[in-house]
């Protein structure tokens, strides 16, 4: 974790603990998660609800915090996963029962055949022969009926399991999406970056990471409200997604920060992609839908880093975050890559050396 990211996370944590203390809510993990999420602003609906409570002169009580946690953070994804698991378990049990029944019938049929074989080795009367043939025919039909029933159950199970697999895939996809922007969430990004680094380490193909931060988003949000802020977040996500291709992955990293994983892209290509996104954002005029009031233009700062042999996700993120931090300090609304940052630091060192001399 970079120093910049650490300070940001620490600020969110301090805000969460301050709210817990002011509201006299026990610092249980679920309540900390609730107010940490509120501090980050990643769940606009939750923030609107809590802001309304504060506007009415109230503070979240323990009971209210429990209700808010259950409504907003106790995801139904786990419930749906449990439901799929239970349905799959029931279907597998039904298959086992059908197979056990078929095995019992098969064993009985096998025993009848062995008995009939022994009877045939002895001289038996025509009447006994007819009775034996009738019995074997009856048991053969029962065996056929059992096999047909088993085939039907297995066919139904195959269809059910295919449906369950689709449901499971849907739940998995939903668990990887940010509900506001409809691009990948932090979990989707973490998994995607792990996979991209693993592939790059084997293929030796280039890999770049881009971190995007909306400039002055907090003041914009405070001035125009959360609904307009949500509009900005969706616009940035759409612009980011529309400017990447193929195996590239766009994700919401947290709050007003976004990331893009760019496999098979070198640092020069990644800077071009970042510049295209920066210009596309700057070119958009933001309007308030209810009044058509012009709210100005959106700008964002970009940090771009490239994968090096031995990099971990944390080390690659840290270098990209350092570039982003430099872009912010350089005046915002610009792209800084590792290459440019190295040049900036080298020039700064030369200036410092000359001043010292």
Q: Would residue 137 count as lying in a domain?
A: yes
Q: Tens digit of pLDDT for each residue in 147-197?
A: 777 777 767 766 666 666 666 666 666 667 888 888 998 888 999 999 999
Same domain? For 54 and 86 the reply is no
Q: Which two tokens stand for residue 324?
A: 């982003």
CB 256 within 8 A of CB 213: yes
- pLDDT at site 21: 82
Least confident of 33-42, 54-63, 94-103, 244-253: 94-103
Same domain? For 58 and 110 the reply is no
Q: Would residue 66 count as lying in a domain?
A: yes
Higher pLDDT, residue 15 or 291: 15
- pLDDT at site 106: 67
Share of the chain above pLDDT 70, in %: 75
- pLDDT over threshold 90, residue 84: no
CB 273 within 8 A of CB 260: yes
Same domain? For 66 and 81 the reply is no
pLDDT bracket for residue 223 (50, 70, 90): confident
Same domain? For 202 and 337 the reply is yes
- The rounded distance, in Å, linking the Cα atoms of 195 and 202 is 11
Higher pLDDT, residue 318 or 29: 318
Same domain? For 166 and 298 the reply is no
Domain boundary among 120, 140, 175: 175
Q: Would residue 181 count as lying in a domain?
A: no
Q: Tens digit of pLDDT for each residue in 241-295?
A: 999 988 999 999 988 999 999 999 999 999 999 999 999 999 887 776 667 777 7
Same domain? For 151 and 195 the reply is no
- pLDDT over threshold 90, residue 328: yes
The one-character DSSP state at 184 is B
Q: Would residue 180 count as lying in a domain?
A: no
Same domain? For 321 and 243 the reply is yes
- pLDDT at site 243: 93
Please state whether beta strands 207-214 and 249-254 pair in parallel, antiparallel, or not at all (unpaired). unpaired
- The rounded distance, in Å, linking the Cα atoms of 23 and 32 is 12
Computed on alpha carbons and rounded to an integer, the radius of gyration of the chain in Å comes to: 32
- pLDDT at site 222: 78
Q: Tens digit of pLDDT for each residue in 244-253?
A: 988 999 999 9
Share of the chain above pLDDT 90, in %: 31
CB 262 within 8 A of CB 207: yes
Q: How many alpha carbons lie under 13 Å from residue 218 in its C-beta half-sphere? A: 4
Same domain? For 213 and 324 the reply is yes
Domain boundary among 175, 197, 222: 175
Consecutive H or E run containing 321? helix 313-329
Same domain? For 249 and 352 the reply is yes
**262-266 contact pairs (CB < 8 A, 24+):** 262/207, 262/208, 262/209, 262/210, 263/196, 263/199, 263/200, 263/205, 263/207, 264/205, 264/206, 264/207, 265/206, 265/207, 265/208, 266/206, 266/208, 266/306
- pLDDT at site 357: 57
CATH of the domain at 242: 3.30.70.270
Number of domains in the chain: 3
CB 39 within 8 A of CB 12: yes
Sequence-separated (6 or more) residues with CB below 8 Å from residue 119: 128, 132
Higher pLDDT, residue 206 or 67: 206
In this prediction the pTM is 0.60
Task: Classify residue 275 by burial, with Cβ atoms within 10 Å: 0-12, 13-18, 19+.
Answer: middle
Could you confirm whether 256 is annotated as catalytic?
Answer: yes
Domain boundary among 133, 149, 175: 175
Q: Would residue 127 count as lying in a domain?
A: yes
Range of 53-57, 89-93, 104-108, 205-209 with top mean pLDDT? 205-209
Same domain? For 63 and 81 the reply is no
Same domain? For 199 and 159 the reply is no
Cα of first residue to Cα of last residue in the chain, in angstroms, is 36
| Domain membership of residue 52 as a residue range | 3-72
- Render 85-99 in DSSP notation, one character per residue: HHHHHHHHHHHHHHH
- pLDDT at site 343: 82
Q: Would residue 12 count as lying in a domain?
A: yes
Same domain? For 192 and 318 the reply is yes
Write down the catalytic residue from 93, 97, 121, 256: 256
Higher pLDDT, residue 288 or 324: 324
**Could you tell me which of 208, 225, 177 has the C-alpha nearest to residue 307?**
208
Cβ-based neighbour number of residue 303 at 10 Å: 29
Cα 171–Cα 236–Cα 212 angle in degrees, nearest 5: 95
- pLDDT at site 336: 96
How far is C-alpha 76 from the geometric centre of its chain's CA atoms?
Answer: 14
Higher pLDDT, residue 106 or 278: 278
């Amino acid at each position: 974790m970079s120093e910049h990211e650490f300070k940001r996370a620490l600020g969110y944590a301090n805000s969460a603990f301050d709210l817990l203390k002011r509201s006299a809510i026990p610092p249980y993990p679920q309540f900390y998660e609730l107010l940490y999420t509120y501090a980050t602003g990643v769940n606009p609906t939750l923030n609107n609800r809590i802001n309304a409570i504060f506007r009415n002169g109230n503070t979240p009580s323990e009971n209210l915090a429990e209700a808010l946690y259950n409504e907003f953070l106790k995801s139904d994804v786990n419930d749906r996963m449990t439901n799929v698991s239970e349905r799959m378990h029931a279907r597998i049990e039904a298959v086992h029962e059908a197979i056990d029944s078929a095995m019992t019938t098969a064993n009985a049929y096998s025993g009848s055949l062995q008995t009939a074989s022994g009877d045939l080795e002895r001289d038996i009367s025509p009447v006994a022969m007819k009775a034996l043939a009738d019995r074997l025919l009856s048991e053969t039909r029962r065996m056929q009926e059992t096999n047909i029933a088993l085939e039907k159950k297995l066919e139904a199970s195959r269809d059910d399991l295919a449906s369950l697999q689709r449901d499971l895939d849907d739940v998995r996809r939903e668990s990887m999406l940010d509900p506001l922007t409809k691009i990948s969430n932090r979990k989707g990004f973490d998994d995607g970056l792990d996979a991209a680094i693993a592939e790059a380490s084997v293929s030796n193909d280039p890999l770049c990471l881009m971190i995007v931060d909306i400039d002055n988003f907090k003041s914009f949000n405070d001035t125009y409200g959360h609904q307009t802020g949500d509009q900005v977040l969706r616009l940035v996500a759409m612009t980011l997604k529309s400017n990447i291709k193929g195996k590239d992955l766009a994700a919401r990293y947290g709050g007003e920060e976004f990331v893009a994983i760019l496999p098979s892209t070198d640092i020069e290509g990644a800077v071009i992609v970042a510049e295209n996104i920066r210009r596309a954002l700057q070119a958009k005029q933001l309007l308030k839908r209810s009044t058509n009031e012009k709210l100005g233009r959106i700008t964002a700062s970009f940090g771009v880093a490239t994968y090096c042999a031995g990099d971990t996700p944390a080390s690659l993120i840290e270098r990209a975050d350092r570039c982003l931090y430099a872009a912010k300090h350089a005046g915002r609304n610009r792209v800084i890559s590792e290459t440019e940052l190295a040049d900036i630091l080298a020039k700064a060192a030369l200036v410092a050396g000359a001043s010292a001399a």
